[in-house]
Amino acid sequence: MIESLFGGSNDIINILGGIGFFVVVGITAWVLYVYVGAIKNTKSEGELAEENWDGIGEYKNPLPTGWAVIFAGLMVWTIWYWLVGYPVNAYSQIGEWNQENKEYKAQFETKWANPTEDELRGMGESIFLAKCAPCHGNTADGMGGKAANLTEYGHKAHVEHVINNGSKGLGYPGGEMPAGLVSGADVSAVAGYVAGGLQGGGQGAEVFKNACASCHGEDGKGMSGTFPDLTTYGTTDFAIKAIKHGKSGYIGHMPAFEKEGTLTPVQYKAVATYVLSIGQ
């Protein structure tokens, strides 16, 4: 009889779990029947507490013994089930998949420990078409403004676009970058300075100091993660950080791939290499 109820299983843990389910359902039904009926048929009485909320007071009635016993019993059963009845380190299909996935990623990283630039671009293109193209388009042009135009990413034109239009959805603690902090010739000058890795001086460096350093820091490193670190802009390291960080866009949310754990280190580098090569 028991085996027929639980799919023919003779696993004592599954049987106890199933019995526990029916016990909980039964107890819940009994509590509802007894206490809801009591509430309907019994007039509230007793001493009111001094506190009240918008005229609604609370009686100083003791905790119902039956409710307290049932609650304590359920807590004890829950702890037993997780730590003894079904240990957290017991076999599970999810755990098996995670282990297999971890082993596969390790093999993948070993195989592609020293890829060439061409291999990285080829791998990156495949990943891009599978994970990025649905929003950015097969040609990475952003599909008419629906997503970021990655053909400019890592280059001066992209920095100019960000300066003129602002940057939203990155979720940095310091907030979002508004549009139009600088204008005219200053836009081109500071964009060239940022795209060049904050190297050199001249007008671009001066504009950065006056208009950008208050958020990104005089060294451009973003004040310990408060804002983006611009010192590596245009490099694979910068692109990898962006992929890991994620962004909220106009048509949806770009996931933070670091949290998803779907890409390996070499895959991050491959996607970054491919994206930076698109506009070259």
pLDDT per position as a tens digit, 155-208: 999 999 999 988 888 888 988 899 989 999 999 999 999 999 888 888 999 999
Average pLDDT score over the chain: 86
Res 98 pLDDT > 50:
yes
> What pLDDT is attached to residue 53?
82
70 and 113 share one domain:
no
199 and 228 share one domain:
yes
Out of 4-18, 103-117, 164-178, give the one with best mean pLDDT.
103-117
86 and 131 share one domain:
no
Supply the DSSP symbol for 111: H
> CB-hemisphere CA count at 13 Å for 174?
17
Please answer whether residues 136 and 148 qualify as being in contact, where contact means their C-beta atoms are separated by less than 8 angstroms.
yes
84 and 169 share one domain:
no
Residue range 25-70, pLDDT digits in tens: 998 898 888 878 777 776 767 788 888 888 888 888 888 888 899 8
Cβ-count burial of 272 within 10 angstroms (0-12 exposed, 13-18 middle, 19+ buried)? Answer: buried
Per-residue tokens: 187:
């836009």
119 and 238 share one domain:
yes
Backbone angles phi, psi at 248, to 5 degrees: -95, 120
Angle of the 65-80 helix axis to the 12-31 helix axis, nearest 10: 160
CA distance 148 to 164: 14
> What pLDDT is attached to residue 44?
67
Residue 199 belongs to domain spanning: 109-278
Please answer whether residues 240 and 276 qualify as being in contact, where contact means their C-beta atoms are separated by less than 8 angstroms.
no
CA distance 135 to 148: 9
Look at residues 63, 90, 117 and tell me which one is the last residue of a structural domain: 90
Give SS3 for 254.
strand
State the virtual CA torsion across 192, 198, 204, 205 in degrees, nearest 10. Answer: 180
Say what the pTM is: 0.65
173 and 249 share one domain:
yes
Higher-scoring residue by pLDDT: 118, 259: 118
13 and 128 share one domain:
no
In a domain, 42, yes or no: yes
CA distance 156 to 193: 9
State the residue for tokens 């050199």. 200
Report how many domains make up the chain.
2
CA distance 53 to 268: 55
116 and 229 share one domain:
yes
159 and 232 share one domain:
yes
